[in-house]
Chain A
Amino acid sequence: MQVPDSTGPDRIFQRALANKEILLPRCDGCGKYHFFPRVLCPHCHGVSISWHRASGKGRVHTTTVVRQKPERGGDYNICMVELEEGVRMMSRVEGIAPGDVVIDMPVTAFVGEAGGAPAVLCKPTEV
């Protein structure tokens, strides 16, 4: 997907996803990461933000299954993943049955596709 060159926080995040990279914003002032991307740090309200590649290491913070009839696409997972950088985001765990996703399960975040666009998805971490 072609993402126009631009410097807005959402654009930087989306452009990275289009390049199969998960970039996370981190505040230069307090050193904390935040998500979703924005022009200020929600922790200390600093405005100097830099971008860093996520390790992809994460854990399921909470999870649910959207129940849906098979003819409408069947059940699917919705979860909150907590990345080791300290941010949480909505995601979906793939590769296992939606109901087998459990809280605290180690997962690896990767760039897949959701809703017809690049998005952060997760798969169970091999241990």
Chain B
Amino acid sequence: MTADLRGKSAIVGTGHAGFGEAHGLTAYDVMAQSALAALGDAGLKLSDVDGLFCTMMEDAMPALMAAEYLGIQPRFIDGTMTGGSSFVNYLTSATMALDAGLCDVALIVYGSNQRTASGKLVTVSRPPAYEAPYNPRYPISAYAMAAARHMHQYGTTRAQLADVAVAARAWAQHNPEAFERGPLSREDVLGARMVGDPLTVRDCCLVTDGGGAIVMVRADRARDFPKAPVYVLGSAAESSHRQISQMKDFTVTAARESGARAFAAAGVTPADIQVVELYDAFTINTILFLEDLGFCAKGEGGAFVEGGRIAPGGVLPVNTNGGGLSCVHPGMYGIFTVIEAARQIRGDAPGMQLDGIDLALAHGNGGVLSSQVTAILGSQATL
């Protein structure tokens, strides 16, 4: 989105459900519980929703399935599927739809029961034809090759990758909603079972159940709800490929472009951002996105995260809920970057609440570093 849409929409409700294990529930049950939680947070009802923004992993027409399940008949619907970034991407389409009057109450929602249903990633997407014969393990083989290239080109070390997981765990230890809260050291990560060199199982996100939801309205009525509004100041996407074999430079993601445009729309710079929520499917993601979004130079991400610099008490708070590595990762994590960013701004984060947060960044990743979407959120004071 451009600066014309800066602050035109606001998040007035967030909710989640089924974190960890949602025994006996379907993915759509978890989706619906998340929707109810977010609407309750906003003081709204399902019958108020006239815009639906949804995709899920187990069906080819999930937005229609969700609308039907919820018993609503939305007049605007967006089911664009760019993987885990979809839900950050919906901030743009929801803002446009709200601003154009195509809907008045936008519900962004997701749910999954992948952990209790199968214990692994559930997806209807098929392995790409020119990769499938080699039997890569999706998605880890893709991220492992990106990590290997980054290490080769910039001297990034496995210990630096491990420190991303250690920092995420340190945040999670403050968050009662996080799934993994036990102690985790650099040595634990390095010594864990190798899954796809150079990544061990502790370099990989969790496999959990869970759902999340966000309610958005036009800015002109954003102050009429129980919780402090969180404004969408900028959001932008860039897509570079679908298959990892088509990624032009394994050390540079399209977050460079999505980030630059989101910052331009919001009229702020990385130095202004007080808290950063990144889609950390693997430890290499955090390093790549910190570089590509401009928090450090290309190649310096390893040093940037080393030794607790993004952990509580460090130089930049990153993934303050514990991230996909330690809080929750139900197949697609993107919506939780927005929820945690919004809650830090509202002042009701479930874990460590930081003081005086007015500006936060949420970044979604989809596919295999394929789709990058950046959003900048702000408090009333930033308008």
Contact = CB atoms under 8 A, between A and B. Distances in A.
Interface of A: 10, 35-36, 61-67, 76, 78-80, 88-92, 99, 103-104, 114-115, 117, 119
Interface string B129-162: 1111111110001001110110010000000000
Nearest to B148: A62
B146 A78 contact: no
Given A78-B136, A80-B145, 20 more contacts: A10-B129, A35-B130, A61-B149, A62-B145, A62-B146, A62-B152, A62-B250, A64-B198, A65-B196, A66-B135, A66-B141, A78-B134, A78-B135, A78-B141, A80-B250, A89-B130, A90-B134, A103-B152, A117-B133, A119-B133
B245 interface: yes
Interface string B283-326: 00000000000000000000000000000000000000000000
Contacts of B129: 10, 36
Cβ-closest 7 pairs across A and B: A115-B133, A64-B144, A114-B133, A62-B149, A62-B145, A65-B197, A103-B152
Contact of B196 (A36, A64, A79): A64
B61 interface: no
Interface in B197-229: 197-198
A43 to B, nearest CB: 11
Contacts of A79: 145
Contacts, number: 73
B352 to A, nearest CB: 34
A61 B244 CA distance: 12
B131 A66 contact: no
B204 to A, nearest CB: 12
A62 B146 CA distance: 8
A82 to B, nearest CB: 11
Contacts of B195: 67
B120 interface: no
Interface of B: 129-137, 141, 144-146, 148-149, 152, 193-198, 244-246, 250
Contact of A67 (B132, B146, B194): B194
Contacts of A119: 133-134
Contacts of B246: 36
B353 to A, nearest CB: 39
B196 A66 contact: yes
Contacts of B193: 67
17 contacts: A36-B246, A61-B250, A62-B145, A62-B148, A64-B141, A64-B144, A64-B148, A64-B198, A67-B193, A67-B194, A78-B135, A78-B141, A88-B245, A90-B131, A99-B197, A117-B133, A119-B134
Contacts of A90: 130-131, 134, 136, 244-245
A10 B130 CA distance: 10
B136 A66 contact: yes
A76 B135 contact: yes
A92 B196 CA distance: 14
A119 B244 CA distance: 18
Contacts of A64: 141, 144-145, 148, 196-198
A103 B149 CA distance: 8
Contacts of A66: 135-137, 141, 196
Nearest to B250: A62
Contacts of B197: 64-65, 67, 99
Contacts of A65: 194, 196-197
Nearest to B137: A66
Contacts of A104: 152
